Amino acid sequence: MNILNIQKKLPLIVGLAVLLCALPFLVRFVAGNQYPLLIMCIILIYIIAVSGLDILFGYSGQISLGHAAFFTLGAYTSGLLNIYFNLPLYLTIPAGTILATLIGALLAYPASKLKFHFLSLATVAFGEITYYFLYKSPGGFTRDFKGINVISIGFLGEDYLKWYFFLLAFVVIVLLGKTSLIKSRTGRAFISIRENTHAADGMGINVRKNKIIAFAVSAFLTGLAGALYVHLIKYISPETSMQKQSVLFLTMLLFGGTASIMGTIMGVVCIEVLMEAIRPLQEYQMLFYGVLLLIVIVALPGGIYGGLKNVAQNIRKAALKRLGRNTDNQKKVEKGGEA
């Protein structure tokens, strides 16, 4: 049955792969310069980062308003290890990712006892602590407010076309891993904690342990995204760990729709493209996030992906009705009889 499913989806997968491979060439041809490719690379990195937030917030129901801290932790660790110890990037990027993961797990210990607004306050505080630490570090080892200049990944250089395919590979692996994890006992444990923590405990789920796992996986992905980002942009400053960045991640997630693969992708693409379009109004960025969040929460609780799914479902229902009014009626009678 599994094989059948894959065979059915094969044309879709091949089509998507061709499209994703052709897209950068097309974009470069149309735009005539590398800039749109850079934006596409940033979108890929944000997909990894927001996937991390989705594991924590979308699936496990644990809010984080300090996720940019994991992003910068990954970025700074990788950058600084290279600057001070001259370590190669294939070691520093994993090191940054692992440090972010460890700190995520550590934060989860106290955070797993907190709920709702208490948890959001704790994560805001975590973000702020990270920001001030980077801004005014002991002995100035993070170069403080000036930020750090780092090198690019050697074989990629500044060729954003190569970067695109490099990052695309990461995104594919991350999304496959995410899907696999969600469709397992661990994923079900996450969702059951979100749905009803009390009952999850009664059904044999170690709530604390699973919250810590969710935090660690989430920090892993966001930290990895940060460690890749810093070598793409070749610069990072403490500003990246400000509240604004955390809110950006959350806006992307909520706008696209939580607890889905497609929602994350759609949210990141829409918000990033929108932010590029309104770049001249950058001072009002936070205002835009606020308005967007408000619109989504009031009008589209499931995000745009959730909204599209609803529309598709309604269309299908309407089509079914038109096609087989008789069979539909029969079903209704059957259901009515049971109740």
Binding footprint of other proteins on the chain (CB under 8 A): 177, 180-181, 183-189, 191-192, 195-196, 198-207, 213, 339
Judge whether 268 and 256 are in contact, CB under 8 Å: yes
148 beta partners: 236
Q: Count Cα neighbours of 324 within 13 Å in the Cβ-side half-sphere.
A: 8
Nearest-5° angle of CA 164, CA 127, CA 68? 10
Which helix (H) or strand (E) segment is 224 a member of? helix 207-233
What are the two backbone dihedrals, phi and then psi, of residue 235, each rounded to the nearest 5 degrees? -155, 145
Query: Longest Cα pair distance anywhere in the chain, in angstroms?
Result: 78
- Between 169 and 203, CB nearer to other proteins: 203
* Shortest distance in whole angstroms from residue 62 CB to other proteins: 16
* Shortest distance in whole angstroms from residue 36 CB to other proteins: 34
Judge whether 229 and 42 are in contact, CB under 8 Å: yes
- Between 187 and 267, CB nearer to other proteins: 187
* Shortest distance in whole angstroms from residue 188 CB to other proteins: 5
* Shortest distance in whole angstroms from residue 49 CB to other proteins: 18
* Shortest distance in whole angstroms from residue 278 CB to other proteins: 35
- DSSP-derived 3-state class of residue 98: helix
